[in-house]
Structure 1
Amino acid sequence: MSANTNNNVPVLETQHLVKRFGGLTATNDVNFTLASNGRLHAIIGPNGAGKTTFFNLISGRLKPTSGKILFKGEDITGYSTHRIARLGISRTLQIKSVFDALSVEDNIWIAAQAKMAGWHPLRSARHFPDTQRRVDKVIEEVGLQEIAKREAGTLSYGDVALLEMGIALASDPELLLLDEPICGMSPKETQRTVEKIVELSKLVNVILIEHDMEVVFDVADDITVMAQGGILAQGSPSEIASNHEVREAYLGFDEDDDGELAIMPNEQDIGQPSKGAHSNG
Structure 2
Amino acid sequence: MTGSMLKIEGLTKRFGGLTAVDNLSLDFPEGKLHAVIGPNGAGKTTLFNLITGLLKSDSGKVQFRNHDISGLKPHQISRLGVKRTMQIKSVFNQLTVAENLSITRQSAQRFLHPLRPASRDRQTRERVDEVLEQMDMTRLAGQTAGTLSYGDVAMLEIGMAVISEPQLLLLDEPICGMSPAETERAVAKILELARTIGIIIIEHDMEVVFGIADDITVLAQGALLVSGSPKEIADNEQVREAYLGRPEDEDYVDEAAHA
**TM-score (structure 1 length as normaliser):** 0.85
Q: Could you say which residue in structure 2 is the equivalent of 1:182? A: 175
- Unaligned runs of at least 5 residues, structure 1: 265-281
Q: SS at the partner of 2:250?
A: strand
Equivalent residue for 1:80, pick from 57, 73, 93: 73
The answer to whether structure 1 residue 105 and structure 2 residue 102 are counterparts is no
Q: Could you say which residue in structure 2 is the equivalent of 1:244? A: 237
Equivalents in 1 of 2:10, 2:111: separation in Å?
33
Q: How many residues align?
A: 252
Equivalent residue for 2:14, pick from 20, 23, 29: 20
* 1:143-222 correspondence to structure 2 within 5 Å: 143-222=136-215
Q: Could you say which residue in structure 2 is the equivalent of 1:276? A: none
The C-alpha deviation readout for 1:165-203, integer Å capped at 9, x for no partner, is: 001111111000100011111111111111111111112
Q: Could you say which residue in structure 2 is the equivalent of 1:11? A: 5
Equivalent residue for 2:132, pick from 133, 139, 143: 139
CA apart distance, 1:66: 0.3
Equivalents in 2 of 1:11, 1:121: separation in Å?
34
* Ranges of 4+ aligned residues in structure 1 off by more than 6 Å: none
CA apart distance, 1:130: 2.8
RMSD: 1.9
CA apart distance, 1:115: 1.7
Higher helix share: 2
12 and 121 in structure 1: CA distance in 2 versus 1, 3 angstrom threshold = farther
CA apart distance, 1:68: 0.2
CA contact (8 A) 1:113 1:124 kept: no
- Unaligned runs of at least 5 residues, structure 2: none
CA contact (8 A) 1:12 1:34 kept: yes
CA apart distance, 1:263: 5.2
Q: Could you say which residue in structure 2 is the equivalent of 1:31? A: 25
The answer to whether structure 1 residue 62 and structure 2 residue 55 are counterparts is yes
Which segment is superposed worse, 27-36 or 46-55? 27-36
Equivalents in 2 of 1:248, 1:18: separation in Å?
24
83 and 121 in structure 1: CA distance in 2 versus 1, 3 angstrom threshold = farther
CA apart distance, 1:128: 4.8
